[in-house]
Amino acid sequence: MWIKTENSGYITVQTPNISNYYTSLSTFQIFPAASRSIKFRIKACSNAFVLLSAAINLDSPDVYEICIGGGSNTVIFLRILRKGFNELEDYEFDAPEILNCSQYKTFVLDWRISGRITLMAETGIVMDWTDTSPIPIQGVGIMTAWGSDGMWIVEHFSQSTGFYCGEPGTYGNMTILSTIKKRNIVTCAFECSFRNGCLGVNFNLKTEECQITAGGQQIMKAYVQEWQFYIKC
């Protein structure tokens, strides 16, 4: 699954409503919490973030935030917020030039052993930390910030179930195979079901415009109120 994340600005895990800045992988029916690990590739100059949250939608006071390529691409930061605790837990791991502006770098983030979180890069383990009071991880999000955009390739093995998943108020700003008129999102999605090259659909609630989006491309979303973007899941 290809996902682009734009620069979210100069924010931290303590920024109010921080989950709003993250792209939740559950939107794409990717649930790493089930396997307790995630493999991904990222192309970014610095500051690529992964959020491990106690809530599937990421909106929880209990989170782990891993910043890859922080400190001008010299370190990895692990930051922890817990409900009922005012102080931020902050840990740092040396990792010079771990990201690259023009090349994808592969990582595996793993939390299968209770309380232990490891991050493995192409060179080996770059972060290894054990929490004596582990947060039950349910949701995973990704983000780039502090001046960096990012391109992610998230490993995803699930096959289409015949259902469509997405969220209202979003538009898939991607290659369109065709545009037709349909009365509702159900009949629009039905057109996609018979096309192997179809990833999903955009449907406009006002104009009843149905756009068939092509597969094999990065997913780029924009927030537009009258549109609905759904993909096969």
Residue range 11-30: average pLDDT?
Answer: 89
CATH code 3.40.50.150 for 2-154: no
105 has which bridge partners? 42
Buried b (16+ CB within 10 A) or exposed e, 178-198: eeeebeebeebbebbeeeeeb
pLDDT band at 54 (very low <50, low <70, confident <90, very high): very high
pLDDT value for 157 = 55
Q: Is the pLDDT of residue 90 over 90?
A: yes
CATH code given to domain 164-232: 3.50.4.10
Strand partners, 124: 121
User: Residue ranges per domain, the chain?
Assistant: 2-154, 164-232
CA 45 – CA 227 distance, rounded (Å): 32
